[in-house]
Amino acid sequence: MLDNKKKDMTPFDMGKAPVKQYPFLLPLIWGGSWLMTRQFQLKISRQLRGVKAPWLVISTHQGFSDYYIAPLALFPHRANYISDMEGFAAFGEWLYRGIGCIGKRRYVSDVTVLLNMRRALSRGQSVVLFPESRHSNVGTTSYIPSNMGKLAKRMKAPVAVLTVHGSYLANPFWDEAHTRKVPMEAKLECLYTAEEVEGASEEELQRRIEDALQYDEYAWQWEHKIPITYPRRAQGLHRALYQCISCGSRCRMRSGGIRLVCDACRAEWEMDVYGRLLRGGDAIHIPDWYEWEREQTHKELRAAERPGEEYAVRVEALPNAKGFVPLGEGTLRWDREGFRLTLSGRELFFPHAFRESVQTEYDYRGRGACIVLSERDCCYYIYSEDECFCPTRLQFVGEYYYRKLPS
């Protein structure tokens, strides 16, 4: 599936100008989006202050349903969407460009993407981007790049924010294969007019954009008392909650049914219908556990004299829309400076200082857990059978050093 049979490593043409969504595809886009969200009783509110398109639309990114919600929120306007390379491989370059997508590699700076955004806006097309760059791990906002204010200034367009509730809960990232029936809400709000963007500082724009994108889906679920009765609602949760909050053991967690269990100390939690983890009369908020893991990783990195780890890995490359090219086995090593991937005697270096986060995948298309490290011309999907290979922890490592190192 999605195999690049000819092993063509020609880089994807990022500089190719975006197209207006093909008119004959618009019924498919809007009709398909309506069908895909119908079961969730999606409600959309718009607070656009009379400001007309085109807008720079900055959206939260909880899950896959966001791709269907955005076209409905913007209806009847067409738009271009900033998209990662895997979408082009999954749907084909012609179709993906035809529905308005602009290619980008996650966590890689590329001026051609900015130029294509400007081109789209100048042609009267709104541009939608998801600055979190990945689906939410535990239903809370991922890292927002610190250049959103600068980006808004350069685009010279009204800024609208699209926020969604329910998308993560319906398909949590650690178990996207099984859908829960959850009501969804979306709000498209004009944050700034073009004139207000011109008069605001980059710092103010950044602050307001970040504030508007904050969410906590488990808190929202509890506040609205939305029950999820799916009998396997905890299945896969150990992929995000990999470290036992009771004994501190890493990579000894497992999940099944409605339970999360540590094989090291035998501690056990039950996930109730409101998304809380219950044990002995106490309730744990899942995002709190996740943030505790982050802090544990940071403590280890601060205390270690020479921090770093190495894993035996299997690597697949995604250079273009033709699919994945297997590159065989190698080693992945990280240290204070970055990630080092060695393949056939060749080392690829991915500095922490230029990568605000690390793309994590908990079971990418059934291929297994992996991280994705990208450069301008290729994405490398890195898998490992090592029991200590934990994508969430590697994400925490990369984010920690990005904030500590000068760019």
Note the pLDDT of residue 176: 94
Here the CATH number for the domain that contains residue 321 is 2.30.29.30
Same domain? 335 vs 391: yes
pLDDT tens for the chain, 407 residues: list them. Answer: 588 888 889 999 998 999 999 999 999 999 999 999 999 999 999 999 999 999 999 999 998 899 999 999 999 999 999 999 988 999 999 999 999 999 999 999 889 999 999 999 999 999 999 999 889 999 999 999 999 999 999 999 999 999 999 999 999 999 999 999 999 999 999 999 999 999 999 999 999 999 999 999 999 999 999 999 999 999 999 999 999 999 999 999 999 999 999 999 999 999 999 999 999 989 999 999 999 999 999 999 999 889 999 999 999 999 999 999 999 999 999 999 999 999 988 999 999 999 999 999 999 988 999 999 999 999 999 999 998 899 999 999 999 999 986 54
Distance of CA 55 to the CA centre of its chain: 22
Same domain, 79 and 173: yes
Residue where a domain stops, chosen among 303, 323, 352: 303
Residue type, 75: F
Considering only CA atoms, which of 364, 362, 368, 365 is closest in space to residue 391?
A: 362
Give domain status of residue 14, yes or no. Answer: no
Q: Are residues 200 and 253 in the same domain?
A: no
pLDDT at 335: 96
Same domain, 62 and 83: yes
Q: Do 336 and 218 fall into the same domain?
A: no
Q: Is residue 17 one of the residues assigned to a domain?
A: no
Is 99 within 8 Å of 29 (Cβ atoms)?
yes
Please indicate, yes or no, whether residues 159 and 183 belong to a single structural domain of this protein: yes
Q: In this structure, are 55 and 188 located in the same domain?
A: yes
Residues 137 and 259 in one domain: no
* Within a domain: 333: yes
Sign of CA pseudo-dihedral 33, 38, 39, 43: positive
pTM over 0.85: yes
Residue 50 falls within a domain, yes or no? yes
157 and 281 part of one domain? no
CA–CA gap between residue 407 and residue 405 (Å, rounded)? 6
On whether residue 232 sits in a domain, the answer given is no
Whether 61 and 205 have beta carbons less than 8 Å apart is answered as no
Claim to verify: residue 344 and residue 293 sit in the same structural domain: no
Distances (CA, A) of 62 to 167, 171, 173, 254, 307: 6, 9, 8, 23, 32
Joined tokens for residue 47: 């607070």
175 domain residue, yes or no = yes
In-domain check, residue 6: no
Domain end position, chosen among 303, 318, 342: 303
- What pLDDT does 64 receive? 87
Number of folded domains in the chain? 3
State residue 109's pLDDT score: 87
Same domain for 101 and 211: yes
Question: Do 297 and 256 share a domain, yes or no?
Answer: yes
Please tell me the total number of residues recorded for the chain in this structure: 407
Q: Is residue 363 part of a domain?
A: yes
- Residue 333's domain comprises 309-404
Side-chain-side CA neighbours of 173 within 13 Å: the count stands at: 24
Task: Write down the pLDDT at residue 104.
Answer: 93
Instruction: Tell me the C-alpha distance between 330 and 342, whole Å.
Output: 6
